[in-house]
Amino acid sequence: MDLGAITKYSALHAKPSGLILQYGTAGFRTKAEHLDHVMFRMGLLAVLRSKQTKSTIGVMVTASHNPEEDNGVKLVDPLGEMLAPSWEEHATCLANAEEQDMQRVLIDISEKEAVNLQQDAFVVIGRDTRPSSEKLSQSVIDGVTVLGGQFHDYGLLTTPQLHYMVYCRNTGGRYGKATIEGYYQKLSKAFVELTKQASCSGDEYRSLKVDCANGIGALKLREMEHYFSQGLSVQLFNDGSKGKLNHLCGADFVKSHQKPPQGMEIKSNERCCSFDGDADRIVYYYHDADGHFHLIDGDKIATLISSFLKELLVEVPVYCTKTGVKHLHHKAQEFDIGVYFEANGHGTALFSTAVEMKIKQSAEQLEDKKRKAAKMLENIIDLFNQAAGDAISDMLVIEAILALKGLTVQQWDGLYTDLPNRQLKVQVADRRVISTTNAERQAVTPPGLQEAINDLVKKYKLSRAFVRPSGTEDVVRVYAEADSQESADHLAHEVSLAVFQLAGGIGERPQPGF
């Protein structure tokens, strides 16, 4: 480790005085102008992680569904999963170190994790379409090269595509080819094979309107659409040609506001979906004959996929985890087949190696009907991006299942009925004052908050409410549901006031009305 060179380069990526950041569920996120030093240091950390794991590590420059002025960075571990928790702590420590402490922190990490500094390192880098992303990616590269790491810069990618590249490189190509062409071909081939087996019931002409949040998803979906066009026609909106990233559009906007994105005309019963800014979330929606908006979120996506797999397999158990894909991903890995989605539309399905092998062998040996089911499963496995939640992959899975089952969007929506609900967020000085238990369904601190929530819930029928600290910003997220929308709205507002009063709310007190 050339400490002199690191010190010299670090001075070119100086840390702003007094800035403290936390590596959370989504990595680091803040205003883009505050991130140059973080990017350089994450390049350094990626090299150490690569040396320690003797694997390719990914670095993604994105702030996902955040406003265009923000940016962020997260590291991707060898099998495409989120960074290990102990290394999240290293990331926070390194990002917040003062210049004079940089050498010590790097040595401490190396010693604590028994990093062989003579080991080769390889890092792959991707970025979204934000104006700040290209320059920040170069800062990552500076960090990688000063520690002697090798790198490949993929340039513009969706976040799930970078996860895919890391997974492919660390499995010797067994999962797929680590190129954008390999990604397009793997998913599209599985999708076309699946939809060939569909009857003409349901929506005979498969077409879909896609809101791309003015982000990277538009660019990549446009590149990919000719690969699967015989099975699905997509019409892109908010494609980045005008409008700001995630502004009045995208999956987070549609989910939070429960209305369509700006710039998309929706006819009655047309199937529509929205990606978020880096295309790792997806939600569906439609207008019924009376013009009412219907949201189909991650819960109903998971139900559609699970029910389809259940028909082909056996009973599916259900488990709860803390909010965040990294928690869901780890729980799903405990099973032969795991389907996980957050309500915000972030999720995928995982299949164990043993199950994949068994299904592929069965497809050749079973009688016709069972062989057809095994072949469907084989294609479903190939269609999922098992490295990460992926809006493009999930969209193709959903469209294939709807075609195979002959379901319209209304029939899918009718699988079950959601209770009316409302999600809000409350600004607080420090989100860490809230801690939770029971898969984030009960608040442990601050004292008195859970008791206040319990008392409020008792006032309404069929009601419940949860609060949790955001993983990306100093806000507390509030969820409430009840027997009517009016009751859900009132409950959400009252819980928000309790959070504001007991958890150090800042700014304007939460106001009623949505």
Show binding-site residues for Mg(2+): 64, 276, 278, 280
Collapse the DSSP code of 27 into the 3-class scheme (helix H, G, I; strand E, B; otherwise coil) and give the result. strand
Task: Annotate 124-158 with DSSP letters as a single string.
Answer: EEEE-S-TTHHHHHHHHHHHHHHTT-EEEEEEE--
Token code pair at residue 115: 């990093």
64 in catalytic set:
yes
In order of 11, 29, 35, 439, 471, the CA distances from 22 in angstroms are 22, 9, 12, 22, 9
CA dihedral 253, 257, 262, 266 (to 10 degrees): 110
As a whole number of angstroms, the distance between CA 142 and CA 136 comes to 10
As a whole number of angstroms, the distance between CA 139 and CA 34 comes to 12
**Cβ-based neighbour number of residue 55 at 10 Å:** 16
As a whole number of angstroms, the distance between CA 304 and CA 99 comes to 51
DSSP state of 244: -
Helical residues (DSSP H) of 171-294, grouped into ranges: 180-196, 216-228, 251-257
In order of 153, 156, 444, 450, 466, the CA distances from 459 in angstroms are 55, 50, 22, 15, 15
As a whole number of angstroms, the distance between CA 424 and CA 496 comes to 7
Q: For the chain, first and last CA: distance in Å?
A: 55
Please state the residue numbers annotated as binding site: 64, 276, 278, 280, 342-344, 468-472, 477
As a whole number of angstroms, the distance between CA 143 and CA 145 comes to 6
Segment (H or E) for 169: helix 159-170
**Which letter, b or e, does each residue of 481-508 get, where b requires 16 or more Cβ atoms within 10 Å of its Cβ?**
bbeeeebbbbbbbbbbbbbbbbbbbeee
Peptide bond into 160 cis (omega under 30): no
Please state the residue numbers annotated as binding site for substrate: 342-344, 468-472, 477
Residue of 10, 64, 274, 463 marked catalytic: 64
Q: Which active-site residues does the annotation give?
A: 64
